[in-house]
Amino acid sequence: MIKLVATDVDGTIIIPEKTFTEEVKNCISKLNNSGVKVVLVTGRMHAAASLIAKDLGLDTPVISYQGGLVRDGEKTLYEKYLTEEQANKIIEWGKAEKIHLNLYNDDILFSENDCYEVQRYCQNLHTQYTKKSFNDVKKDKVNKMLAIDYSSPERLTKLEKELPQIFRELYIVRSTPYFIEFSNKEASKYCAVKFLQKYWNISQEETLTIGDHNNDLALLQAGGIKIAMGNATEELKAVADYVTDSVFENGFVKAIEKFCNL
């Protein structure tokens, strides 16, 4: 019996650059009413992810920053940061590569420039940013850093292969064709879901995990039932137990109806 549904957000329950459907909202409401815990597991910052949880009527903890932060209301249950030294190393790399970086410290998004990359990012995710030189940003709670290149996903594919050799001490993941994320080694969706399983005494076998991109490889590993969306990457589909329909066809709802007794 499924007791925990840990779901990715963008591309899984939210249509890219849009929102969730009424069918998804109703499905999550049914899960809530049946006693199943539904947890959002996302790379988004907590401030943005918590608003989605509220819109969906969820009162469970939210997993944000790829697993770097688990917060239940105002209470932090789990958190893993980048060190100031690690953040500065990423900043120097970004300058050398001439690639845009978002820096998140204590759940505030900072950008050094008012550029297309950060403006499009914030518009799509309905969030705000603060323009400030990274030299002047306090780096005591760096949740993650994000490299963005909307013009050349091919460039990010190349960088994705090189970066683990440059930053061996970090968790580096491609979360969309345009994003590469940098975080603490223990800031993965797997680590955060395993934490909540232990916190609630829920087994892996009682957990359903569902996602659409390579950053969800870690998420699926924590599930007893592993679901890939129809719009998922081939890498994710290869490790899934079941491939549902795409986010455009309410694939999340169809997967829940198949595997959860509502």
Token digits of residue 204: 């892996």
**Helix, strand, or coil here: 128?**
coil
The larger pLDDT score, comparing residue 91 to residue 18, is at: 91
Return mean pLDDT, the chain.
Answer: 95
CB 40 within 8 A of CB 58: yes
What average pLDDT score do residues 198-208 get?
98
In the chain, where are the structural domains located? Answer: 4-79+187-259, 84-184
Residue type, 26: N
Q: Which CATH architecture has domain 4-79+187-259?
A: 3-Layer(aba) Sandwich (3.40)
pLDDT reading at 197 higher than 90: yes
Token digits of residue 9: 């957000």
How many C-beta neighbours within 10 Å does residue 130 have?
11
pLDDT at 127: 87
pLDDT reading at 202 higher than 80: yes
What average pLDDT score do residues 189-203 get?
97
Q: What is the pLDDT of residues 60-85, one digit of tens each?
A: 999 999 999 999 998 999 999 999 99
Q: What element of type H or E holds 219?
A: helix 217-221
| Residue from 189, 180, 201, 155 nearest 4 by CA | 201
The CATH class for the domain spanning 84-184 reads alpha beta
> How many Å separate Cα 103 from the centre of its chain?
15
What average pLDDT score do residues 36-44 get?
96
84-184 has the same fold as 4-79+187-259: no
pLDDT reading at 16 higher than 90: no
